[in-house]
A and B are shown apart, each in its own frame.
Chain A
């Protein structure tokens, strides 16, 4: 079953702008991960944030986690056309099983 919701479902921006995607989940977690999927392809791991962390950076990516609100956000700064993809959050509560959110489809226009 899906863990929760992501918003927005779709986001369209211009190159150079920042993109923010949000994810909510329902149960206790060990960690939360963000993945990227180009159309018709498999998923690529972007970043993992543990339940005891509040913020994490990786290049142009910034992830926050608020366990009290059961929510996370992914910020992509200075977006590029190549960032066009679907982005999914996924939570892990045990046994290494991942439960994915609904995803945000990001379109970055040159």
Chain B
């Protein structure tokens, strides 16, 4: 498997500010990472696929200018929520694939609250 960390685990910010969330693959070099969003008592919704060294691929309906993804190294992807609004409050989770398997390994998630 793979060990994935996220930082911070919780963040509270004011409306209009930007927040950066880090996702690190601690023991595996990940060319691809995935970012999900989860609202309370709901399922995970894939936001984007983060590709090392190239632009992220966003899912339909996800604003690429609002959710900036940078995957500058094989162990780190960042998600920046720009000009955050209360409706962006959610649980953000990243994951990585390992090798040729279809299994994904998830980070512990980041709880974002925008006031």
Q: Which positions in A face B, CB cutoff 8 Å?
A: 1-2, 30-31, 33, 35, 40-45, 48, 88, 92, 95-103, 105
Contacts and interface: CB of A to CB of B under 8 A. Distances in A.
Contacts of B111: 40
B115 interface: no
A42 B34 contact: no
Interface of B: 1, 4, 6, 32, 34, 41-46, 49, 60, 91, 93, 95, 97, 101-109, 111
Given A31-B102, A33-B103, A97-B34, A2 B43 contact: yes
B64 to A, nearest CB: 17
A101 B6 CA distance: 24
A43 B44 contact: yes
A1 B59 CA distance: 9
Given A88-B43, A97-B46, A102-B43, A42 B102 contact: no
B106 A44 contact: yes
B102 A96 contact: yes
A30 B100 CA distance: 13
Contact of B109 (A31, A40, A96, A103): A40
B28 to A, nearest CB: 14
Given A40-B109, A40-B111, A41-B109, A100 B43 contact: yes
Contacts of B34: 97-98
27 contacts: A2-B43, A2-B45, A30-B102, A35-B106, A40-B111, A42-B6, A42-B93, A42-B95, A42-B107, A43-B95, A43-B104, A45-B103, A45-B104, A45-B105, A48-B101, A92-B102, A95-B49, A96-B32, A96-B102, A97-B49, A98-B46, A98-B102, A100-B43, A100-B44, A100-B45, A102-B42, A105-B41
Contact of A42 (B1, B49, B109): B109
- In this complex, the member of B34, B95, B104 whose beta carbon has the largest number of chain A beta carbons within 10 angstroms is B104
Contacts of B44: 43, 88, 100
B62 to A, nearest CB: 11
